[in-house]
Amino acid sequence: MILSEPEVREILNLIWESVYGKLQSNATEKDWLKYQDTAFNRVNMVARWLTRSPGHWIPKPHIYFHPNNERNRFKKTWQWYVKQETLKIEIRNQLLLQQVKSEWQQHEQNKGRFREKTRLQLFRIQQKRLAGYRDESLNQAYQQCLQRCLHLKNLKRKQPAYAQ
Amino acid sequence: MLSEKMQREALTKCIVWFYDGNVRTFYSLDKTHKRAKPNQALGIRRLEKMLMETFKGQWETAIIYENKSYGNELARFKRGARV
């Protein structure tokens, strides 16, 4: 698409208004840089979507970035972006839990990288690794995984019988 | 045909060479309503729409200039496509 200078100026003004909110919020420079990154990611996401299937269509730039366009404006990609990012995190968590699970299974059979370690040491190693991601849902899933892998439920059931 | 005043106040003009030998000059309408602030980009878009839809297939070359003496060239169209 070829645009002349006045058209480019108009579109940039619309982007300044609709995407950056006229730069009026009191965010720090770091926040703005972060927002800029997400904005670039959103643009790339739309570009990839367009190249994937040529049947897709987005409106012309002066409509796409217009602040009053409720129907198919650029702001709507935010929801889309959030969905994509949460999906990425979920998949990452699934892979991490799979790894943890296989490590416990191998440890039970005296195989693998951590066969020399005790159960407590292996637990500490995994805990340290997963704490690096700072994700509460990952932590909870890890607890459940531990219950399953280490048969902690069976232990609990045995305890009352032992006490009698 | 636009009035003299509107021709003078237009921000852009478009010169069109038709296939039948005619050469015509069109002036842009840059306002969304009578007292609006003129928007040059809107005028260019409207001229482009005129070329692509009203006079579709009738012109060979069209050039959009700023509406001044020695105004810059803003856009150029050739056989139905922007170049």
Shortest CB distance from A62 goes to which of B41, B75, B83? Answer: B41
Domains identified in chain B, total number: 1
Q: Is A68 on the interface with B (CB under 8 A)?
A: no
Counting DSSP H helices and E strands in chain B, the numbers are 2, 5
Burial per residue of A88-118, b for 16 or more beta-carbon CB atoms within 10 angstroms, e otherwise? eeeeebeebbeebeebbeebeeeebebeeee
Query: Which residues in chain A touch residue B47, judged by CB atoms under 8 angstroms apart?
Result: none
Tokens of A108: 């039970």
pLDDT at residue A160, rounded to an integer: 53
Query: Which residues in chain B touch residue A59, judged by CB atoms under 8 angstroms apart?
Result: none
> Residue ranges per domain, chain A?
5-72, 84-163
Of A113 and B7, the one with more pLDDT: B7
- How confident is the model over A19-37, as a mean pLDDT? 90
Mean pLDDT of chain B: 93
- How confident is the model over B64-76, as a mean pLDDT? 92
Q: Rounded distance, CA A159 to CA B9, Å?
A: 93
- Grouping H, G, I as helix, E, B as strand and the rest as coil, residue B62 is strand
pLDDT at residue A14, rounded to an integer: 93
- How confident is the model over B22-30, as a mean pLDDT? 95
pLDDT at residue A151, rounded to an integer: 73
Q: Is B63 on the interface with A (CB under 8 A)?
A: no
Closest CA to B62 of B77, B46, B44: B77
User: In which domain, by residue range, is B63 found?
Assistant: 4-82
B83/A5 Cβ within 8 A? no
In this predicted complex, what is the ipTM? 0.85
Chain B interface, best mutation among A7, A9, A63, by max B CB count within 10 A: A7
Is pLDDT above 90 for A159?
no
Q: Is B81 on the interface with A (CB under 8 A)?
A: no
- With beta carbons less than 8 A apart as the criterion, state whether B44 and B26 touch: no
Tokens of A87: 């999906």
Closest CA to A130 of A93, A90, A88, A87: A93
Of A9 and A110, the one with more pLDDT: A9
